[in-house]
Amino acid sequence: MCLAAAMVGVLVFVRKRSLLGEALSHATYPGVTFAIILTGFFSLESALPFLILVGAFLSALAGFWIIDRLEKKIKVASDAALGAVLSLFFGIGVTIASCAQHSYAHLYRQMQTYLYGQAATMTDIHILIYGSLALAVLLFILLFYRHILALSFDPQFAHTNGSISRFLESVIFLIIVLSLVIGVRCVGVILMSAMLIAPAAAARQFTNRLSTLFLLAGFFGSLSAFLGLYGSFELSNRLGGHYSLPTGPAIVLVSGGIALFALFFAPRRGLVSRYVRKTKFRGVCVQENLLKVLWRLSQKEQNHIGFKEISQYLGYSSLYLRWLLHRLCRQQALIKWGKAYQLTPQGVKKGARIVRLHRLWEVYLVNSLGLKVERVHKSAEEMEHILTPELERKLTELLDNPRQDPHDQPIPTQDEALHVF
């Protein structure tokens, strides 16, 4: 059930209309309450689940229609339209519910379950209905995957492909409403939107492909449903019946937790990993800058370089600098003689390569792009860490293997510079 919701969530997510789900799930409430009242009046207890589905479906449709109308005819901003429909429908629902509050207490309680969701009280017939609906949603996505892909990312292209897109557009919308209606029973009207958003947002952190996105979101959705259900059940037992944890919020909390975790720790797009990558790159830059200084010093006054001289050129604290030097020693680019340092042949080559990249880029900027000589140093300072061997080769070819940079300093030849990669 949450599986279907999560998959549909992807649909909404990639179209940047996540909050539509929020508005529509609120819009189902009057339908639900009305259906419950109807069954209460005509004592159609057996048809209740079915009627509720129909009611919720119809009122969500009405809500969508009104939103659409507001946006297109009256040119209301979309967020205002969503907010208006959301609150208006919820108000209607509450009014209908209050109608039953005093006269039909048991019906009222039933309505409350739809606010927060009660998965625990579901019976076989629920499972049958909702299971088949979820299956329908799944089948639809499988069958029309290509069209959905086109429609989501390039609507214009999809429209040129003919009438199927319009048909599909409405079917997708129907599916969205359907999955909302399914999920409302489980997590409740208010929190339903979370089930649309959270799994999709989490899955987006791990992949760039739509198909994987669907799968992952479905997985996260069902995982959070399972964990939430199990957790609330188990905890309620542990706490000895005094407290009963509502299942809906529990599920939402779990899926929200997964989403947050993914946002922070996902391998490629997560905040932490991005931070790690940034720091690593900065470390490489620092090391290369140090190598450059060492190389220049060793060119000037031969082998032994004192610590003081190095620290004159770099603004790092002495402790940090010592640690950097130590690391270079361990990479066998540097040898420590007592208090002085000497670059190994390998270290010389590494340093030469960086200086070469720096000066090549300066030549390129001045010769090919026509920049002023005194302004190119800063850009080269950054590019020297980024240029790849392939780019280096291209630059060399383009510039006809220059010997001197614009500041009249020699460029180390390719033989002097080692290709690290």
Partner 1 sequence: MYFNPYTDQDFLGFFGVFFSRLFLFVTGQLPFESLVSDEVQIMVLTCVAATGAMVGTFLILRRMIMLANALSHTILLGIVIAFLLCDSLTLPILMVAALITGIATTFLTEYLNRVIKLQEDASIGLIFSIFFAFGILLLTLFSRNVHIGTELIMGNVDALQRGDIKIVFSVFGINALLFLLLYYGFKITTFDPNLARAFGFSPLLFNYLLMVQTSAAAVGAFRAVGVLMVMAFFVLPPLTARLLTNRLPTLIGLSALIGAMASAVGVAISRNILTVWGVGLSTAGIVVIVLGIFYLCAILFRSIDFSVRARYYSLSKPSLKKDEKNCSIG
| Residue 344 exposed, middle or buried by CB count within 10 Å (0-12, 13-18, 19+) | middle
Instruction: Determine if 63 is a binding residue for partner 1 (CB under 8 A).
Output: no
Nearest to 364 by CA among 400, 321, 401, 395: 395
The tokens for 116 are 């927060």
| Identity of the residue, 218 or 256, whose beta carbon is nearer to partner 1 in the bound complex | 256
Are 103 and 24 in contact by the 8 Å Cβ rule? The answer is no
Residue among 190, 213, 333, 360 that touches partner 1 (CB under 8 A): 190
- What values do phi and psi take at 356, rounded to 5? -60, -45
Are 89 and 26 in contact by the 8 Å Cβ rule? The answer is yes
| Identity of the residue, 22 or 384, whose beta carbon is nearer to partner 1 in the bound complex | 22
Residue for token pair 């199990």: 230
| Identity of the residue, 17 or 327, whose beta carbon is nearer to partner 1 in the bound complex | 17
Instruction: Determine if 181 is a binding residue for partner 1 (CB under 8 A).
Output: no
Cβ neighbours of residue 159 under 8 Å, at least 6 residues apart? 165, 166
Instruction: Determine if 191 is a binding residue for partner 1 (CB under 8 A).
Output: yes
Residue among 82, 134, 181, 395 that touches partner 1 (CB under 8 A): 82
- Cβ at position 78, least distance to partner 1 in Å: 9
| Residue 72 exposed, middle or buried by CB count within 10 Å (0-12, 13-18, 19+) | exposed
Residues 100-129 that bind partner 1 (CB under 8 A): 101-103, 112, 115-116
Helix (H) or strand (E) holding 77: none
Distances (CA, A) of 418 to 139, 248, 291, 298: 57, 61, 13, 17
Interface with partner 1 (CB under 8 A), residue total: 63
Residue among 54, 94, 227, 286 that touches partner 1 (CB under 8 A): 94
Residue among 83, 104, 307, 399 that touches partner 1 (CB under 8 A): 83
Interface pattern 133-172 for partner 1 (x via CB under 8 A)? ----------------------------------------
Residue 214 CA to residue 194 CA, distance in Å, equals: 16
Residues 218-277 that bind partner 1 (CB under 8 A): 242-246, 248-250, 252-253, 256-257, 259-260, 263-264, 269-271
Residues 192-211 that bind partner 1 (CB under 8 A): 193-194, 196-198, 200-201
From the centroid of its chain, how far is CA 262?
A: 8
Residue for token pair 């030469």: 352
Q: Is the dihedral of CA 200, 259, 231, 90 positive or negative?
A: negative
Residue 177 CA to residue 194 CA, distance in Å, equals: 15
Instruction: Determine if 18 is a binding residue for partner 1 (CB under 8 A).
Output: yes
Helix (H) or strand (E) holding 245: none
| Identity of the residue, 200 or 411, whose beta carbon is nearer to partner 1 in the bound complex | 200
Residue 192 CA to residue 324 CA, distance in Å, equals: 53
Instruction: Determine if 383 is a binding residue for partner 1 (CB under 8 A).
Output: no
- Cβ at position 202, least distance to partner 1 in Å: 9
Interface pattern 392-421 for partner 1 (x via CB under 8 A)? ------------------------------
Instruction: Determine if 388 is a binding residue for partner 1 (CB under 8 A).
Output: no
Q: Which one-letter DSSP state was computed for residue 334?
A: E
Which window, 83-91, 129-137, 280-288, 352-360, contacts partner 1 (CB under 8 A)? Answer: 83-91
Q: Which one-letter DSSP state was computed for residue 373?
A: G
Where does this chain bind partner 1 (CB under 8 A)? 13, 16-19, 21-22, 26, 74, 76-77, 79-80, 82-84, 86-88, 90-99, 101-103, 112, 115-116, 190-191, 193-194, 196-198, 200-201, 242-246, 248-250, 252-253, 256-257, 259-260, 263-264, 269-271
